[in-house]
Amino acid sequence: MRSHRESHLVSRIGWLRAAVLGANDGIVSTASLIMGVAASGAPRSAVLVSGIAGLVAGAMSMAAGEYVSVSSQSDTERSDLERERLELATDPDAELAELADIYRARGVDADVAKTVAMQMTAFDALSTHARDELHITDMTAARPITAAFTSAGTFTLGALLPVLAAAMLPHDWLVPGEAVASLLFLALLGWVGATAGGSRPLKPVARVVFWGAIAMGLTAGIGRLVGTAI
């Protein structure tokens, strides 16, 4: 009998979310910072320094933020698993009944549900309750280190694009050129993220471009006002 192996896109959720978040934040925040400083009338050297500083600070912030937030999720998962392990040890009959109720709620006949619950409990009680009661699986479990490195790396890659654009564009065209280049980068990111996630690219592309344009427009406007006032 030929085995049937499937690769589901949901297995990419852990790193894909962190990657898209990191790259999107890298492009938007760095481009916005560069445009704000450039719109204030600052020289190119100050614009590039601000962009590079934003890149380094942002990458470190993304790594720390992702690690802390995903670690909190991981701590919660471990706490729930420890509680479930204790309940299985102290009140196995109630846990067995609870598992059978879960299967009945999903449409399984009562007798079959009880039989399945007994067999799954005998096979691996904790993993069964983790999956069917707590909805914790190896595929979707929190991975703080993976999320931290993914976010920091993709933020750096995303932030490098507007920095390189700022280094190559003529100074007089720095603000509009940076805006156009960054929106193109965001559109590409939306397309890549949608493709990796198995969805149609139109909405993801429009979403990242729309919010990126708002962020960059507001920052450039504030930079111009501050530069005029100073």
Residue ranges covered by each domain of the chain = 17-229
Give CA 92 to chain center in angstroms: 38
pLDDT at 163: 93
Mean pLDDT taken over the chain: 82
- What is the rounded average pLDDT of the residues 123-129? 88
The pLDDT, as a whole number, for residue 132 is 86
pTM higher than the cut 0.75: no
DSSP per residue, the chain: --------GGGGHHHHHHHHHHHHHHHHHHHHHHHHHHHTT--HHHHHHHHHHHHHHHHHHHHHHHHHHHHHHHHHHHHHHHHHHHHHHH-HHHHHHHHHHHHHHTT--HHHHHHHHHHHHHHHHHHHHHHHTS---TTT---HHHHHHHHHHHHHHHHHHHHHHHHHS-GGGHHHHHHHHHHHHHHHHHHHHHHHHTS-SHHHHHHHHHHHHHHHHHHHHHHHHHHHH-
Burial 146-162 (b: 16+ CB within 10 A, else e): ebbbbbbbbbbbbbbbb
Task: Output the six-digit token pair for 193.
Answer: 């993220």
- State the amino acid at position 38 in one-letter form: A
pLDDT of residue 159: 92
* CA separation for the pair 111, 40 (Å, rounded): 73
Count of CA atoms in the C-beta half-sphere (13 A) of 19: 13
Compute the distance between CA of residue 208 and CA of residue 212 in angstroms, rounded to an integer: 6
- Whether pLDDT at 193 is above 60: yes
Asked if pLDDT for residue 52 goes beyond 90, the answer is: yes
Residue 49 pLDDT level (bands cut at 50, 70, 90): very high
Amino acid symbol at 112: V
- Mean pLDDT, residues 24-44: 86
- Residue 177 corresponds to which tokens in the numbers above? 């050129």
Q: How confident is the model at residue 3 (pLDDT cuts 50, 70, 90)?
A: low
Residue 9's pLDDT is 46
Backbone angles phi, psi at 140, to 5 degrees: -115, 5
Q: Supply the pLDDT for residue 225.
A: 74
Q: In terms of Cα–Cα distance, which of 99, 91, 98 is closest to 116?
A: 99
